[in-house]
Amino acid sequence: MPLLQDRTAIISGASSGIGRAAALLFAREGANLVLVARGAEPLREVAREVESAGGKAICHAGDVSLPETHLTAVELALSTFGRLDIGFNNAGTVGPIQPLAEIALADWQDVLATNLTSAFLAAKAQIPPMIERGTGSLIFTGSFVGNSVGLPGMGAYAAAKAGLTGLVKAITADYAHLGIRANALLPGGTDTAMAGDEDQKAWAASLHPVRRIARPEEIANAALFLASDMASFVNGSCLWADGGNSATKIQAP
């Protein structure tokens, strides 16, 4: 039987990259999907891909830094599919690359709102219906940045992604006894639009012992593990999917 048969998952940042890869994978594994991202048309294109492969998906275009985006996604999951089992809270932004003292307050606030406050808002909306069912899996996409290493010019991003590791521990302390699992997924460099141009991707690859960055599908596979019953005793953890980046800081020649 598929790993997510008849379960319902909300996936944010679903229009591209890791989110798109997860949407296609979760659908193949039997999940019904609520797809969330800012861009309506790219989101609909992913939904069409899911449906053409026999899956079910509905879309909600919205800003994840706003509470109504998450409340609406949950309402759609319940009204359309009758349940909510998985929240893959994946949307994020790097923000301007600047030394910390040069970051404008508005940019700092925007990066934290999109990466960290959005995770709080997602959890706040998703946890209550999961409690009613007595089960649920929350997954938050973090990063190796801020958890195993700092990179120049990425102070706001690092602070936000580090905050997610504390958030999953707090959710575990509050809700594990009610059947809720919360985990952070910590990718290394991944071949998405956020990775930059080919020179930037090559530089990122040099930081990884495997001498390459990840394909989005590889990170989606790790998210599938956390979403499924294979991870039934995994709670409050940080799963590295970083090609060994956290294990060494030796830059490849």
Residues marked as catalytic: 157
Residue 114's contacts (CB-CB under 8 Å, 6 or more residues apart) are 64, 65, 91, 92, 93, 160
Under a CB-based contact definition with an 8 Å cutoff, are residues 185 and 167 in contact?
no
Q: What is the CA radius of gyration of the chain?
A: 17
> Running DSSP on this structure, what letter comes out for residue 16?
S
Is 148 within 8 Å of 245 (Cβ atoms)? yes
| All residues at 6 or more sequence positions from 217 whose CB lies less than 8 Å from its CB, including other chains | 21, 25
Q: Are 149 and 249 in contact (CB under 8 A)?
A: yes
Residue 217 CA to residue 215 CA, distance in Å, equals 5
CB 89 within 8 A of CB 140: yes
Instruction: Describe the strand order of the beta sheet including 136-141 as a list of residue ranges.
Output: 56-61, 32-37, 8-12, 86-89, 136-141, 180-187, 238-241
3-class secondary structure, 53: coil
